[in-house]
Amino acid sequence: MNNSLYIYLLLLGDNSLILGHRLSELCGHGPNLETDIALTNHSLDLYGQVRSYYQYAAEVKGEGTEDSIAFLRNERQYYNVLLIEQPNSDFAHVICRQFLWDAYHLPLMRSLMKSKDDQISAIATKSEKEASYHLRFSSEWMRRLGDGTEESHAKLQAAFDHLYPYSFELFKETEIEKEMKENGIGANLSLIQTEWKKTTESVFEEANLKLPDTPPALTKGKQGIHTEAMGFILAELQYMQRAYPTMEW
């Protein structure tokens, strides 16, 4: 088995899984029906990506299924970044988290479309379209909230102050990411960061956001060390598989 490729697929898939989960918590509770439908759509897109990554990961590993990978790992074996697991504190946090991620996800998918690994390239090609309209949606909402009312601006700034320091982890290259980049399978994160900066800076400006002067957050999500929120996410996510092991549904 190619263990590096397996872990790389988890690094990609786990972000979509946990963000999909966070967005799915909002289904039925959005500020209006239109945004409810849109955010559920994002969640559905992300779960579609998760299934592709995990099905391929199971093939690479030569054992397990998309479901055993999604539901039966322990917390330390999930490799999503900490930005993604931040709670849905309010709509400003939801949009800001989404935007910081989308601005990374789109260039990542564009880069992975050129991956030497055909499966990854195929998944990226499909996901690129989704990432592109997700970014359009979250950028528009960043502008709306930033420019809308005093209250919305204050809430967005507060969400931004909290979330922005977590975005640095997206670009902090792990050993596995380095290896994948070098053999032409993975993306070059410093190039992704350049794209991310270009996209985000113009939106921050239009949304009248002031960059927080806090340093990058101390993060080890990609090493499987999470926030306290993660255990609760997994408690819900894994409930059925843990309570009724080995059953078909």
- Note whether 26 and 94 are within 8 A (CB): yes
d(CA 60, CA 196): 30
Nearest partner of 152 among 83, 87, 91, judged by Cα: 91
Shortest gap between Cβ of 177 and other proteins (angstroms)?
25
Nearest partner of 43 among 84, 103, 7, judged by Cα: 84
**Looking at beta carbons only, is 41 or 132 nearer to other proteins?**
41
**Looking at beta carbons only, is 1 or 247 nearer to other proteins?**
247
Q: What is the DSSP string of 31-73?
A: SSHHHHHHHHHHHHHHHHHHHHHHHHHHHHHTS--HHHHHHSS
**Looking at beta carbons only, is 32 or 74 nearer to other proteins?**
32
**Looking at beta carbons only, is 183 or 208 nearer to other proteins?**
208
Shortest gap between Cβ of 188 and other proteins (angstroms)?
30
Question: Which residue blocks in the chain are alpha helix, DSSP H?
Answer: 3-24, 33-61, 66-71, 82-85, 91-112, 118-147, 150-163, 175-182, 189-206, 229-237, 239-243
Shortest gap between Cβ of 67 and other proteins (angstroms)?
5
Residues that bind other proteins (CB under 8 A): 21, 24-25, 27-37, 40-41, 43-44, 47-48, 50-51, 54, 66-67, 70-71, 90-91, 143-145, 147-149, 151-152, 155, 236-237, 239-241, 244, 247-249
- Note whether 112 and 120 are within 8 A (CB): yes
d(CA 53, CA 56): 5
**Looking at beta carbons only, is 21 or 134 nearer to other proteins?**
21
- Note whether 229 and 221 are within 8 A (CB): no
Shortest gap between Cβ of 198 and other proteins (angstroms)?
23
**Looking at beta carbons only, is 15 or 43 nearer to other proteins?**
43
Three-class SS state of 220 = strand
Shortest gap between Cβ of 235 and other proteins (angstroms)?
9
**Looking at beta carbons only, is 225 or 232 nearer to other proteins?**
232
Three-class SS state of 105 = helix
Shortest gap between Cβ of 36 and other proteins (angstroms)?
5
Shortest gap between Cβ of 32 and other proteins (angstroms)?
6
